[in-house]
Structure 1
Amino acid sequence: MPVDTSTTGLPAAHAAAPPRLDRRARLILFVLCAAQFMVALDFSVLNVALPDLGKDLGLDRSALQWAVTAFALPAGGFLLLFGRIADLYGRRRLFLAGLAVFGAASLLAALAWNPASFLAGRALQGLGAAVIVPTGMSLLTTTFPEGPQRDRALGISGTLLSLGFTIGMVLGGVMTDTLGWRSTMALLVVFTLIVLPLAPGLLPGPLPREGAHLPERPRLDVPGAVTVTGGLLALIYALSTAADRGFGGADVLVTLAAGVVLLIAFVIVESRSDAPLVSLPMLRRPTVAWGNLGGLVTFSMMSTVVFVLTLYLQETLGLSAFRTGLVFGVQGLLSVAAGTLAPRVIGRFGARRTLVFSLLGQGLFVAALLGVGAESGALVATAGVSLASMCHLGAIISYGLTVTSGVPDEEQGLATGLVTTTQQVGITIGIPLLGVLATTQGTLLDGVRQVLAVDAAIVIAAAVLVGLGLRRARR
């Protein structure tokens, strides 16, 4: 049952401000958000530690990408599958299992004695993340009812998600310099030890129609699970590898083609299944289709901006890794402010309008970054990326609300699985699709400007398309 967190006499949908949360609701939100923050931290905390890690474990530069890819493959490939399994067999128990796997895997990665043991730990971390993210999101959306309560909960979750990526970049450098790369993995073990003991007594049990309480439990759509998981794994592998070696390699082209074929097969399988893994009518819902398009664009294009600005600040302006981290630290602080304001904006203008205008703002502030120069531009970069990130965070929160609004509780795991799959695929595809332009177009500055121009154009075009699509959906 949703937690009653309203402290006003007004209905939640008409409250002038997001209602205060009672103590138990705050603790539930802490557990769910801490788990999401932990996973977001894991995406970025290791990046600046890769050179030290490679020297310690004997991984050469060409193999270092697997420190990232080994995590990204299961983290993105199994999201939809575990989201649906959670709907059928119980979100709470799967969430707890995911936390346990993630913590054990982090310990294995921290204690790794050779490349194989480290990569095994990273792969198991990704598997745990693929469980934690959709189950945590669906627990949040089913615990906090639609309206200001859910807006506020998703606002806090989205803020910590964005902050986790940013803090990971800064914290990873500091911890690696002072304590060594293993400390970045040990930090995740500490997070797990804080969250896991609290979760069992706080998280709500199965819904009346969830898990063992179903009178006739639906069968898991095995053909659908195989095709969509295989397709996502192939797609993420191809794009992650292309980010390092380009699209010319035979393995990249073969796995990219295999991913496309498997995803087409998945659509065909789902159209003929009596109990589909993904309901095609759900995918045809305008809010689901257009909301996920907005999410895909905001994640993919913002990850590209962070990537090319990191190159620009360090290689063109000559900033140290620490000073570069401070630039993104400012970005993180303003993201916190945006997360505080976003629920109020959504409460006033609605999630759909907020999504459209957030995308538009992100695109315009990225376009403003074209003012960076060869000898100066740190201030422009700091202001531009920070303001773009504020809009980006508004888009993250509002697209999640757009996609999950009106979805029955028994399908929230699927809806949030789609949201988080969009997020993971978006983070994966942006850099290989556009980032390569930064290093192949004359000087690095020329390449960075070209990436930023294309990036801004894509986000602005998406804002227009999403706005038109959602407007037609209301008619």
Structure 2
Amino acid sequence: MSMTKPPSSPRLSLILTLLVAAQFVIVLDFSIVQIALPTMRTELGISLANSQWIVSAYGLTFAGFLLLSGRASDLYGRRRLFGIGLVVFALSSLAGGLAPSEAVLIGARAVQGIGAAIASATGLSLLVVTFPEGRERNRALSVFAAVSSAAFAAGVILGGVLTATLGWRSIFFVNVPIGIMTAVTANRFLVESRGDISQRRLDLPGALSVTAGLSILVYALTNAANEGLLSLQTLAPLALSAVVLAGFVVIEHKSSAPLMPLSFLRRGAVFSANALAILTISAVSAMIFLLTIYLQQIQGYSALSAGFAFLPTALVFLSVGGYLSAKLVTRFGARPVLLVGMTIQAAGFLLLNQLSVETPYLTALLPAMLVVSLGAATSFTAFNIAALSGARKGEEGLASGLINTSTQVGGPIGLAIAVTIVGVVVASLGASVTPAAATVEGFRYAFLGGAVLSGMGIIFASVIRSPRTVVVPKEPILEVPSSLLPSVAEPDISVAMRKILVAVDGSENGERAARTAIGFARDYHAELDVLRVVQSPSAVTPSSPRAGGAGSAILKERYDYAEKEAETYVNSVVSKAKSAGVSVAGGTVIRATGPPANAIVETAKKDGADHIVIGTRGLGASGRLLLGSVSAGVVANSGVTVVVVR
């Protein structure tokens, strides 16, 4: 990843504020429009059937362009695309506020979704490359995720207030100054960055196919809410999206510079984390949708009152998602946090399954909503951290685009499932009960479906092999005598493992070092390089002008054999690493004529390793006297983190 210079610490809070502000207005626009729809329909003469496209056009282009936007930011510059996305978002918001007709308004919303996709994907990518992996990034991600979640609930409230006081056009105009000011400030304070990618070109066939496929998929799922999941109007675009996305997979498999390398999904927790995103957002979106209808149509709440009923859940997302979840992931790792979060979420949906026509809000409905929100808020930050931890240098935009896409696809999936369940239950009850009772019964079964989705989330969480926060000080973390260590003023606890060099010698400790390095590389998604140093005869025994003859031949034969044995051992370590799913750069055997520590340090620098794992049984007495301790030499001269396994 190339950056002109790293951001200074005082700017980190400002950068986070900019990224969060942009994400807030982007997510806000999903829900702020819904409250104003009746007024828009009246003023512009929009039919009920077409009014859904004021909401859907934004979500359709947003989901379709996320993956493309994230990858493009890796290629062409994250700050640049972030600014472009915000300007497009602001100008299309202005067009929406000034729209004289239904067609202009829907078109403006579609363009607004494209700008939002560019800004959202690149914003999350900028967060990943700006904040060091570990405690700082976890905290930043938790704030980002919490604000994203809370913005949806805030949109319902703010939409009601603005529509009632300033008119429906104000919900678009409010985006214009925020978008422009954020873009200008970002250009001033953000550092440009892009991925170190060998082939800096966009996979156009892949980009077109995935954008079209995702857009058609979201269209089909959105249509399912009106036409039914099993209707021809839904199944036809679903089948078409499957064909187009299958074509995308074929294109990526054959491309020399794919938009999304298919191996990326197999890396670490990427697949499971994205599956969790889809399941969580599906369940929570269905809950918000169904309870909004329940509060207004069954219990008679006004639109604004129904919006305020969700305010406590927004506060849970802000407090738990913005603070507690990141601390838990930092301490315990993503897997246990996700298991607990999904279990709590499932319990909340089982509580909602007890819903009735007259369920009181304060004593029954609100507690169930808070339990679901607690579980979802706990999981939301954790699966974001897990999904982004699989990104290597140059893939930050790809990872952020993918997790954003998963969350956006999850919403329509949840609504389609919920509406289908409610429709089936209501139809089966017929006229045997009142319409209100039939609807609530359908809601109860839909909430049971939310519990099932949460249970599936527990399964995906259980297979995540996501590490805790990387906390690796720049000094050996296993035992090395303190007298041999260089002085370290303050350990850097935010260092991430990207490439590990393991130096082995065939001993029992060397075997332990190999296992340790393979474990690190697997858990932290790092690349592994295996090194074995074979000492040349002259490394320990000084050369002599009389050296030669039979003795020299014996020594040569001995060290030729040692080199072959070393190659066999290195190949076995490489094989074990590959079997564990680790990416291996290669195995190397070096015949050193000087201190082995020098050979290890030089190899690490040449290969760009940021961590060295070394296992050594120690040199003999003469070797230590002439060459010094290998581990101490590596520690003193490498300039990177060294893990010494004894």
- Normalising by the residue count of structure 2, what TM-score does the alignment of the two structures yield? 0.68
Structure number, greater radius of gyration: 2
- AA paired with 1:402? A
Residue 343, structure 1, aligned to residue 330, structure 2: no
Residue 373, structure 1, aligned to residue 368, structure 2: no
Name the structure 2 match of 1:10. Answer: none
Name the structure 1 match of 2:347. Answer: 364
8 Å CA contact 1:372–1:378 kept in 2: the answer is no
Name the structure 1 match of 2:446. Answer: 451
- AA paired with 2:166? L
- AA paired with 1:378? Y
8 Å CA contact 1:236–1:425 kept in 2: the answer is yes
Residue 23, structure 1, aligned to residue 7, structure 2: no
Name the structure 1 match of 2:105. Answer: 118
Distance, in Å, in 2 between the alignment partners of 1:4 and 1:387 is 39
Name the structure 2 match of 1:256. Answer: 238
2:410 to 403, 413, 426: 426
Distance, in Å, in 1 between the alignment partners of 2:23 and 2:158 is 17
Distance, in Å, in 2 between the alignment partners of 1:341 and 1:259 is 39
Distance, in Å, in 1 between the alignment partners of 2:6 and 2:308 is 39
| Mapping of residues 39-188 of structure 1, within 5 Å | 39-188=26-175
Distance, in Å, in 2 between the alignment partners of 1:401 and 1:196 is 26
Greater RCO, CA 8 A, separation 6+: 1
8 Å CA contact 2:270–2:390 kept in 1: the answer is no
- Normalising by the residue count of structure 1, what TM-score does the alignment of the two structures yield? 0.91
Whichever structure has more strand as a proportion of its residues is 2
1:34 to 21, 24, 40: 21
Report SS of the residue matched to 1:409: coil
Return the offset for 1:217: 4.1
Name the structure 1 match of 2:434. Answer: none
CA change 1:31–1:471 in 2 (3 A) is closer
Percentage of identical aligned residues: 37
Distance, in Å, in 2 between the alignment partners of 1:190 and 1:395 is 33
CA displacement, residues 4-62 of structure 1 (integer Å, 9 cap, x when unaligned):
77xxxxxxxxxxxxxxxx43111000111111111010111001111111111111101
Return the offset for 1:161: 0.3
Distance, in Å, in 1 between the alignment partners of 2:388 and 2:60 is 25
Residue 411, structure 1, aligned to residue 411, structure 2: no
CA displacement, residues 85-138 of structure 1 (integer Å, 9 cap, x when unaligned):
111111110110000000000000011000111111101100101101110000
Residue 352, structure 1, aligned to residue 335, structure 2: yes
Which piece of structure 1 moves more, 219-228 or 77-86?
Answer: 219-228
Return the offset for 1:406: 4.2
* Aligned alpha-carbon RMSD (Å): 1.9
The total of aligned residue pairs comes to: 454
- AA paired with 2:294? Y
CA change 1:223–1:446 in 2 (3 A) is same
Which piece of structure 1 moves more, 86-95 or 377-386?
Answer: 377-386
8 Å CA contact 1:371–1:377 kept in 2: the answer is no
Return the offset for 1:274: 1.1
- AA paired with 1:415? A
Return the offset for 1:471: 8.2
Distance, in Å, in 1 between the alignment partners of 2:273 and 2:390 is 13
Return the offset for 1:402: 0.4
Name the structure 1 match of 2:372. Answer: 388
* Unpaired segments ≥5 residues, structure 2: 427-437, 468-521, 524-579, 581-646
CA displacement, residues 437-462 of structure 1 (integer Å, 9 cap, x when unaligned):
23442311101100001111221232
Whichever structure has more helix as a proportion of its residues is 1
Residue 203, structure 1, aligned to residue 203, structure 2: no
1:298 to 264, 280, 288: 280
Name the structure 1 match of 2:563. Answer: none
Distance, in Å, in 1 between the alignment partners of 2:7 and 2:64 is 35
Return the offset for 1:319: 2.2
Distance, in Å, in 2 between the alignment partners of 1:56 and 1:87 is 43
- AA paired with 2:234? V
